[in-house]
Structure 1
Amino acid sequence: MLLIVVTLVVILLGLLYKWSTSTYHKFEERGVPHEKPRPLLGNVRFGELMGSVSHLRRQLEEHVQFPKAKVYGMYFLRDPVFVVRDLELIRNIGVKEFDHFMNHHASDKFETIFSKSLVQLKNREWRAMRNILSPTFTGIKMRSMYELINACCEVSVEYIEKQLKQEGGNSIDLEMKEYCTRFTNDVIASAAFGIKINSFEEKDNRFYKIGQIMTNINFKAIVKSLLFTFLPWLMKILRVTLLDEKNIDFFRNLVSNAVNYRVEHKIIRPDMIQLLMEAQRKTNEAESGKKFTDDDFLAQCLLFFFAGFDTVSTCLCFLTYELCMNPEVQAQLYEEILSAEERLNGKPLDYDTLMHMKYLDMVVSESLRKWPPVTRTDRACNADIDLRDENDEIVVSLKKNDQIFIPILALHYDPEHFAEPEKFIPERFSDENKNDIKPSSYLPFGIGPRSCIGNRMALMEVKSLVYHLLTKFQLTPAEKTSKDMMGDILGFQMVPKNKFWVKYVPRQTDVKSS
């Protein structure tokens, strides 16, 4: 009996090994340089999955591993991925040959409501939805929405002032991930869903708690994701869903009630739901073309929630960290704020003033270079194509369904593109220097028609909060502030092991009276 059991185990292990390595021949067949993969994991380190090894450093190591290769290969678990590091090829994929690389790589094995969101739609459906949503994110629309953002910034600053009074001290240490996530939660609630929430006072409000649950990449979430990747049929049999339906229903009811209330009471509010309502009405009144269903509506709301809740808060965390670690940059930015306050002459900050602050834009741009919230983007090849270099020589022949990575973080840290990439130097983006930045080397919002549609809104949030924070406080390193940020970020989350700590010191003079 024991012999039979041992034999079965050996056979099963052999089959598992054969299955787990069955895709590990593609790069060798195509002549693409790559590191030798390990069964099941490919080129992913086990420590990355377990959160004990830095995934960011791993990306940077991959980039320098094949310095002369324009394209190299890496196996993400069992999936072969072509990583493109040549700038001309990146531009071809993102812009010139866009029709061949229109889609992100998304599995068709399981569908969720999120499959209808702009980021996961494909081909003609994506193009139709992009055309529907593009007018929603113009500068004019953002300007009309700014009052909502500004109000959330003021509440966020008031929270710090209250904490300082309660502590009775001259400074306060703040953990920025929680702080910034509460701020972005309130912004999304107000500017996207039309709900007024103060997450600094109502710390356990459901909107915030669900956001934390849905964006937290913990061990359970990783295991669940791996099971959906490797055993989608088993998940279907067990009726396990990728997203928690109770949380989805919460948003479904939220959106439905907001829309019905506005229609019934003829309420117009300058937020994302209102803009989507207008887009839905105009689209569905047209005689032909894609209809904008209620599920389409909900999917875009969820996309705004996911993108805004975590991505913007991550950007703010790194930006405040860099400001506290680079006091000379902070001092120069504060001088620009003083000049802006003088021009405003007692009036509240407005969208146009914010968007015309050149040094603030340089600081935010450099933060996005050094710490892009999305460290790489992907494309799926939808038809066979030969990628050629500037001499019209074939670099690699791609086949339909091949997966491509564009290594955003690695490009931003490549000294061939940015001198002294480890340093925080906003002057890279000055009027005198920004034209020297190589096309396709700086991609914090992606590239081409598939770039982030909400970049204007994200920048508006980030710039506005930083303006308000520096108006009232000086940011300095706290005792628990990371000394090696890159080394302290482990696993796949963009959060250091001891989180983001910054000391806030009240400024001696209110800028409004200076």
Structure 2
Amino acid sequence: MFWFLVVGGLAILIYYVFVNPFKYWAKRGVPQDTIFKIWLKTVLDIIQYRPATDNLRKLYDDLSGKRYGGVYQLFTPMLCIRDPELIKQITVKDFDHFTDHFNFFPTNNEPLWEKNLFSLKGEKWREMRSTLSPSFTSSKMKLMFGLINDCAKQFVNYYEEQNENIVQLEMRDTFTRFANDVIATSAFGVTCDSIRNRDNEFYLNGKIATNFGEGVTGLLKFLIFTLSPKLANKLGLRFTKAEASMFFTNVIKSNIKSRELNGIIRPDMIHLLLEARKGKLKDEELEAIPKEKLTDEDIAAQAFIFFLAGFDTVATLMYFTAYELALQPDIQAKLQQEIDDILNNSNGSLTYENVASMKYMDMVLSETLRKWPSTFLLDRVCVKPYTIPPVREGEKPVRLEKGDAIMMPLFGLHYDPKYYPEPERFDPERFSDENKSKINPYANVPFGLGPRACIGMRFALMETKTVFFYLLAKFDIVVTEKTQIPIIISKTKFTLDNDVGFWMGLKLRKAKH
């Protein structure tokens, strides 16, 4: 009898711990895998059997013919949306039901994460977005263009001074250093030269801040954060190391103090945020009026998330753009012709208006973002009950409750041949004036959608266009013996990266202007 009770108790425990949690969507009539397949996928994810990008493409393909399906992030149920019209409904039309992001990691006791625009929820997010939006308009980007322009010229001049026929570089490191200098000057009011001064304090703290862990260590940290936030807090685990958080907070606070004491005005983000704090900037999109005055900590948090996006995400766009151009010199030559024409018609100088006018540059960057989106997926959390009505035969109404999580796999959408014929091929012509109208706008979302779309999109594109303008005016980007072809995405890293580096060469062009 005793052993019968023990076995029965174990069976009940196993059911409620290992089976019942994975019936969440099935109970609601949402298609999902069998329990065995769900556990198999979970195990394969844990042992990092394949890159996260491949996992997302497989997940998307496995739901072929369906608008949505039930999936699980470890023990957390998530509704995977793969239909562009349903994505539009959730992120735009019915946005008030899905205003928040899903927290993949706890951000307790980390003010730079708790208070930044990406992490904020509900009214606090709306108020902060309303406060920050005026700082990211085209007119404000034009104000900061000079800072970016100076960084780009300094960056390219360094390699031109090497006076070598071909300079071989690891492009991930190279563009991360450039992005560091741009964000340092435009968001923190600090001037760096990370190419010449390779161990400057700002760059080193950026590396620390963006190192979320790789391999076994990173995986264990991820599992603890995800499965038991309370245990993570007790163990003192942090998403960002304390010394890096303290560094960036102190830089902002001392910079603000110096400006206010000495009346310093500089055309950068700190200035714009200080103006917003004074109520001198008005939002052009949201009607909400900020109820709370921006504190120094609030400003530090926004500058920090802006730094992370620039340091890693924008650098990713740059080195994948360089990679595709190196592999396809005909596309590179066409882009260089556009650059040469601008230089010849503007006395060798670049203006904000020139940047905005480069159509082929836009096409190249749009195709890079399509093929290599550094944001793997979009996510939302249901903040009030919502029902997805049936549209196709066999569907049932899907009732979403407050707290239900939703994910939209960009890597699946961007590689779906239904929207992009020959998706593996790099083809900027997809985004020409003649062809871009054929692209479903909700199947091409590298910067997100709706009010939660990336607020720094204009800045990221302006920065990338500017550096490639100067780089391609002076150099051809070429393949070297160390270039990995085809690129193999890392299984162990949480970013879009490989394990051997992005090695390419800069070959001096013959002077044409």
What SS does structure 1 have at the residue aligned with 2:441? coil
CA distance in 1, matches of 2:510, 2:364: 24
CA distance in 2, matches of 1:40, 1:280: 48
| Structure 2 counterpart of 1:508, from 500, 507, 510 | 510
> Residue 363 of structure 1 aligns with which residue?
364
CA distance in 1, matches of 2:473, 2:281: 46
What SS does structure 1 have at the residue aligned with 2:443? coil
> Residue 3 of structure 1 aligns with which residue?
none
CA distance in 2, matches of 1:505, 1:95: 45
> Residue 388 of structure 1 aligns with which residue?
389
1:74: Cα distance to partner? 1.6
> Residue 81 of structure 2 aligns with which residue?
84
> Residue 422 of structure 1 aligns with which residue?
424
Q: Which moved more, 1:442-451 or 1:394-403?
A: 394-403
What SS does structure 2 have at the residue aligned with 1:159? helix
Distance 1:192 1:62, change over 3 A: same
> Residue 379 of structure 1 aligns with which residue?
380
| Structure 2 counterpart of 1:175, from 170, 176, 180 | 170
Count how many residue pairs are aligned between Structure 1 and Structure 2: 498
1:246: Cα distance to partner? 2.1
Q: Which moved more, 1:14-23 or 1:467-476?
A: 14-23
TM-score (normalised: structure 2): 0.91
Is 1:73 the equivalent of 2:70?
yes
Asked if structure 2 preserves the Cα contact closer than 8 Å seen for 1:488 and 1:496, the reply is yes
Q: Which moved more, 1:20-29 or 1:137-146?
A: 20-29
Distance 1:295 1:38, change over 3 A: farther
What SS does structure 1 have at the residue aligned with 2:278? helix
1:363: Cα distance to partner? 0.6
1:459: Cα distance to partner? 0.2
> Residue 142 of structure 1 aligns with which residue?
141
Distance 1:395 1:342, change over 3 A: farther
Distance 1:14 1:31, change over 3 A: closer
> Residue 120 of structure 2 aligns with which residue?
121
1:22: Cα distance to partner? 4.4
Asked if structure 1 preserves the Cα contact closer than 8 Å seen for 2:127 and 2:290, the reply is no
> Residue 160 of structure 2 aligns with which residue?
161
Distance 1:141 1:12, change over 3 A: farther
Asked if structure 2 preserves the Cα contact closer than 8 Å seen for 1:37 and 1:75, the reply is no
1:391: Cα distance to partner? 7.0
Aligned residue type for 1:19: V
> Residue 209 of structure 2 aligns with which residue?
214
CA distance in 1, matches of 2:352, 2:321: 20
CA distance in 1, matches of 2:21, 2:69: 16
Asked if structure 1 preserves the Cα contact closer than 8 Å seen for 2:29 and 2:396, the reply is no
CA distance in 2, matches of 1:407, 1:328: 31
> Residue 275 of structure 2 aligns with which residue?
278
Distance 1:242 1:497, change over 3 A: closer
What SS does structure 1 have at the residue aligned with 2:279? helix
Is 1:351 the equivalent of 2:352?
yes
What SS does structure 2 have at the residue aligned with 1:374? coil
Aligned residue type for 1:383: K
Residues 425-444 of structure 1 mapped to structure 2, 5 A cutoff = 425-444=427-446
Asked if structure 1 preserves the Cα contact closer than 8 Å seen for 2:374 and 2:495, the reply is no
Residues 16-415 of structure 1 mapped to structure 2, 5 A cutoff = 18-37=16-35, 43-46=41-44, 48-49=45-46, 53-106=50-103, 110-111=107-108, 112-113=110-111, 114-162=113-161, 164-165=162-163, 169-217=164-212, 218-219=214-215, 220-282=217-279, 289-346=291-348, 348-388=349-389, 394=396, 396-415=398-417
What SS does structure 2 have at the residue aligned with 1:23? helix
1:199: Cα distance to partner? 0.6
> Residue 285 of structure 2 aligns with which residue?
none
What SS does structure 2 have at the residue aligned with 1:440? helix
Distance 1:45 1:199, change over 3 A: farther
CA distance in 2, matches of 1:414, 1:507: 38
CA distance in 1, matches of 2:454, 2:10: 44
Identity of aligned residues (%): 39
Distance 1:414 1:254, change over 3 A: same
CA distance in 2, matches of 1:127, 1:76: 27
CA distance in 1, matches of 2:35, 2:193: 49
CA distance in 2, matches of 1:288, 1:407: 33
What SS does structure 2 have at the residue aligned with 1:24? helix
What SS does structure 2 have at the residue aligned with 1:419? coil
Distance 1:249 1:369, change over 3 A: same
What SS does structure 2 have at the residue aligned with 1:504? strand
Asked if structure 1 preserves the Cα contact closer than 8 Å seen for 2:275 and 2:281, the reply is no
Residues 413-492 of structure 1 mapped to structure 2, 5 A cutoff = 413-485=415-487, 487-491=488-492, 492=494
1:272: Cα distance to partner? 0.8
Gaps of 5+ in 1: 1-7
CA offset digits 1:443-476 (Å, max 9, x no partner): 0100111100000000011111111110011111
CA distance in 2, matches of 1:248, 1:241: 10
CA distance in 1, matches of 2:154, 2:396: 56
Aligned residue type for 1:70: R
1:49: Cα distance to partner? 4.6
CA offset digits 1:404-433 (Å, max 9, x no partner): 001112111101111111111111111111
Distance 1:284 1:271, change over 3 A: closer
Aligned residue type for 2:70: G
Gaps of 5+ in 2: 1-5, 283-287
Aligned residue type for 1:31: G
What SS does structure 1 have at the residue aligned with 2:406? strand
Aligned residue type for 2:243: K
Instruction: Give the superposed CA RMSD.
Output: 2.7
What SS does structure 1 have at the residue aligned with 2:230? helix
CA distance in 1, matches of 2:464, 2:46: 30
CA offset digits 1:51-110 (Å, max 9, x no partner): 552221121111111211100122111111111001111000011110001110127965
Distance 1:146 1:38, change over 3 A: farther
CA distance in 1, matches of 2:246, 2:280: 25
CA distance in 1, matches of 2:314, 2:134: 21
Distance 1:15 1:293, change over 3 A: farther
1:489: Cα distance to partner? 3.4
